[in-house]
Amino acid sequence: MKITGWLFDSYATDKGITVWLVDGNGKKYKTHYHFHPLFYLNLTKDEEHFLQLMRKELPSEVSLRRVERRDLYSRVMIPVLEVSLHNPLMFQKTVYTLSKHFNFYKFYGADIKVMQLFYYITQLFPLAYGEYEIENDILQHWSLLDRFDAIDYTIPELSVMTLTPSMKLFSPKYQRSMEIEVSIDDTTRVLQQNDPRELIEQINYYLVQYDPDIILTEYGDSSLLPLLSSLAEEYRIPLHLNRDPDARYYTTKAQSYFSYGSMVHRDGVFELAGRWHIDRENSFIVGEADLEGLYDLSRMSQIGVQHQARTSIGSALSSMQISWAYRNNVLVPYKRPIKESFKTLSTLLKSDRGGLHFMPPKGYHEQVAELDFASMYPTLMKNHNISSETIDCVCCADSSHLVPELGYRLCEKHTGFVPETLTPILEKRARYKELKRTAATDELKKKYDRMQAGLKWILVTCFGYLGFKKSRMGRIEAHEAVNAFAREGLLRAKEIAEAKGFTLIHAIVDCVWLKKKDATREEYEALAKEIEREVGVKISLEGIYQWILFPTSKMDDDITTATRYVGTYENGEMKVRGLEVRRHDTCRYVKKMQQEMLDVLSSARSVAEIKFRLPDVIAVVKRYIDQLNEGNVSPFELVIRRRISKDPYEYANKSINAVVSQTLAEAGVTLAAGESIEYIITDASGKKDPQKAKPLALYALDDGYDAKKYSEFIFDAAETLLQPFGYTRKELQKSWKEDIMDLPLFRQVS
């Protein structure tokens, strides 16, 4: 039987891979593919003889054969032993057993998930469209009519069932009882947990009646599906979450880890067989690019849709690189084989630096243009052939292509795997952005915007992943080389601009802010073209600000911070970065206040007009302060969200985070480091109420709120916009009881 359709889902069994196909009519086919995952060992004859003797001790039967594969760094073909496992589920156990006898550098492709090996070796990918031949439910052959990096492709129509907690104010883990909303075909019903048996039977009814392809949830990984499965097990009622009744759920435990200076918590995974479960609350990519972006990224990375929804962007990039290696018969190291080379102190001082910043002068400025480099770092990697194996390569000892400042040689004969991987991503994203620009409808425009957003995060990640310690194909010298080229490019842009009479106001890594009296848009665009020719990276005029503010640092009034600014373009559009209104840890009430201040300022065309609007701006602040003090603010607008850095009882002090997390723990809510808590401050000083704050889940309206503390937050946010005119938080707090319109400071700026 031949099916023309799409590869929908796949997962490993003890005999191979189960593959689900879907045809153009939506009919699903469960098939089996005989697949033996494999890895490679670079052994001496004595070691190979020892392996032959211990074969019977391995968890799985294996087949061995001698093959030749290419070494990533030397590029020469070397003989290796291919180890093919008959039981895919025993892959990691077999590797672990052998790792007790052979050093890690003798292994290649040995820590790759079985499903990834299936995609790499067969060159299939999720949602691959083609002609599939099936005989007795065995997938025999296929002929793809699709490419993993295709731009114009189709996907099957997939039915969706949504499961969400009906009380959406906070996570289900804080709820003593639960109501579940089920939505399908634009119809929503609420299921209550009064009788667990009845709840399971109702869920089963919808699963059997509608047989959805996707179960879309909120908190499905952390709460909903684990709860349903545990209830089904407790009451011994079958739960038909899986389309494949013979398969089990794929689950993992939640984990907390330290990343980029803060604790991060990741919920466990609850994946299904034969249909997809996607948890919006546990998926970065769905939040950024919705389902269209997820599908596109899954095809590119060759990672199953459910797993891609939950894994990191770095894992997607790594998968693309490993796929390239398998397509080109290149051995994938088990662990990073090249350590950081020895550096003298002077070399280390030059190399161990990041991107270049020029700090802006504080306060408001007029007629400032912003020029942005497009995908600067990935473009530099592509243009300069920067990759782990191209730095000081063995084939180009006399290379004239050197890294500025550092002197590393770059290969001139072979294209590295990093540029090879990034090129289709850059081209595809550029095409999506063009399709978005020319889209005939808003719906198409949104679709292409979501798809380019998914690829954007790959390009954002690719630079950092070069230096990531767990990146098996990374190398710190390649990471340093990109930084060096970026610094040179920014300095060159500065020199070109200043030679043309422009003044540099601010610069940060891949963005510059410039000013020139009476300069026209055409002059800025001409400057951008000249910089692009010199640097080799596309740069465009983002816009010309009628006014822009660079606020002072909260830690030091004499300096600014690189990533906090707000301004309005000539077309009236406002751009805000780093201010309270954009921060996740700012309560809604303070955000609303600052947004109203910005709304008042948005129509100003100059700093003089901003000064003219100051009475209206200050009136906004006064109104919000008065409402707080009068007790007329809804407590739900004062909810603060913070991430805890430790387990609740590991705190040594009595900070609000510690008190709130311990209160929740005592109420039976399990929390781990890196998780977020939500609370309302009732007495920040702790003099009247030792608890200081109440968790949102335990808050009662008569608990009130600390008006003084929230007033401080208001003054902080107001100071961000008013400080250049002399309105500091201290000044505002001291004088607030007087009529603000009569303050000498106010009359002065008026």
Q: Is 337 within a domain?
A: no
Output DSSP code: residue 224: I
What is the DSSP secondary structure assignment for residue 649, as one 8-state letter?
A: G
Whether 337 shows a pLDDT value over 70: the answer reads: no
Confidence band, pLDDT 50/70/90 cuts, at residue 749: very low
Q: Is 238 within a domain?
A: yes
Residues 315 and 382 in one domain: no
Helix H segments across 500-548? 521-535
How many angstroms separate the CA atoms of 320 and 323, rounded? Answer: 5
Span 715-742, pLDDT tens digits:
999 999 999 998 877 777 776 655 544 5
The first and second tokens of residue 269, run together, are 């995974």
How far apart are the C-alpha atoms of 256 and 413, rounded to whole Å? Answer: 44
Residue 176: is its pLDDT beyond 70? no
State whether 391 and 291 are in the same domain.
Answer: no
Residues 692, 573: one domain?
no
What is the per-residue pLDDT across 625-654, written as a single tens digit (0 to 9) for each?
999 999 999 999 999 999 998 888 888 888
Is pLDDT at 745 greater than 50 in this prediction?
A: no
User: What is the domain range of residue 370?
Assistant: 357-578
Does residue 310 surpass a pLDDT of 60? yes
Most confident among 331-340, 462-471, 606-615, 686-695 (mean pLDDT) = 606-615
Three-state DSSP class for residue 393: coil
Other C-beta atoms within 10 Å of 502: how many?
Answer: 21
Q: Sorting pLDDT into bands at 50, 70 and 90, what band is 338?
A: low
Q: What is the pLDDT of residue 271?
A: 97
Place 314 in a pLDDT band, splitting at 50, 70 and 90: confident
Give the model confidence (pLDDT) of 496-547 as tens digits.
999 999 999 999 989 999 999 999 999 999 999 999 999 999 999 999 999 9
* Predicted pLDDT at 634: 94
Residue-wise pLDDT tens digits, 435-446:
999 999 999 999
Asked if residue 61 belongs to a domain, the reply is no
**Are residue 270 and residue 363 in the same domain, yes or no?**
no
Tell me which of 686 and 579 has the higher pLDDT.
579
- Within this chain, do residues 527 and 665 fall inside the same structural domain, yes or no? no
Q: Is residue 138 part of a domain?
A: no
CA distance 700 to 689: 14
Residue at a domain's end among 552, 578, 604: 578
- Separation between Cα atoms, residue 620 and residue 178, nearest integer Å: 40
Domain annotation covers residue 703: yes
Tell me the pTM.
0.89
Last residue of a domain, one of 518, 547, 578: 578
Is residue 463 domain-shared with residue 564, that is, in the same domain? yes
Interval 562-588 mean pLDDT: 94
Same domain, 644 and 566: no
724: CATH: 1.10.132.60
204 falls within a domain: yes
d(CA 294, CA 280): 11
Task: Identify whether residues 321 and 379 lie together within a single domain.
Answer: no
What ranges in 500-630 are assigned the alpha helix state H? 521-535, 588-601, 607-612, 614-629
Domain boundary among 548, 578, 608: 578
User: Residues 221-248: what's their mean pLDDT?
Assistant: 93
Residue 575 is classified by DSSP as: E
CB of 480 closer than 8 Å to CB of 514: no
**Same domain as 363, residue 237:** no
* Same domain assignment for residues 631 and 566: no
Query: 434: domain CATH number?
Result: 3.90.1600.10
Compute the mean pLDDT over every residue in the chain, rounded to the nearest whole number. 91
13 forms beta bridges with none
Task: Determine the angle formed by the axes of helices 225-234 and 196-210, rounding to 10 degrees.
Answer: 110
Q: Are residues 278 and 395 in the same domain?
A: no
- Residue 326: half-sphere exposure toward Cβ, Cα within 13 Å: 23
Q: How many CA atoms lie within 13 A of 706 on its CB side?
A: 24
- Residue 750 scores a pLDDT above 50: no
pLDDT for 366-385, tens place per residue? 999 999 999 999 999 999 99
Our count of domains for the chain comes to: 3
Is 515 contained in some domain?
yes
Residue 256 near residue 263, CB atoms below 8 Å: yes
Per the model's pLDDT, the better-predicted residue between 710 and 735 turns out to be 710
* Rounded Cα distance, 161 and 213, in Å: 8
Q: Quick one: which of 255, 206, 738, 328 has its CA closest to 320?
A: 328
Residue 60: helix, strand or coil by DSSP? coil
- 191 pLDDT band, cuts 50/70/90, is confident
Q: Which two tokens stand for residue 474?
A: 């990374």
Could you tell me if 320 and 366 lie in one domain? no
254: closest CA among 281, 234, 285, 289? 281
In a domain, 564, yes or no: yes
Read off the pLDDT of residues 238-270 as tens digits, 9 standing for 90 and up. Answer: 999 999 999 999 999 988 877 666 778 888 999
- One-character DSSP codes across 91-121: HHHHHHHHHTTS-GGGEES-SS-HHHHHHHH
**336 has pLDDT over 70:** no
Rounded to a whole number of angstroms, the distance between the first and last alpha carbons of the chain is: 82
Q: Which residues contact 136 (CB under 8 A, 6 or more apart)?
A: none
CATH for 171: 3.30.420
Q: How far is CA 19 from CA 156, 326, 689, in A?
A: 16, 21, 59
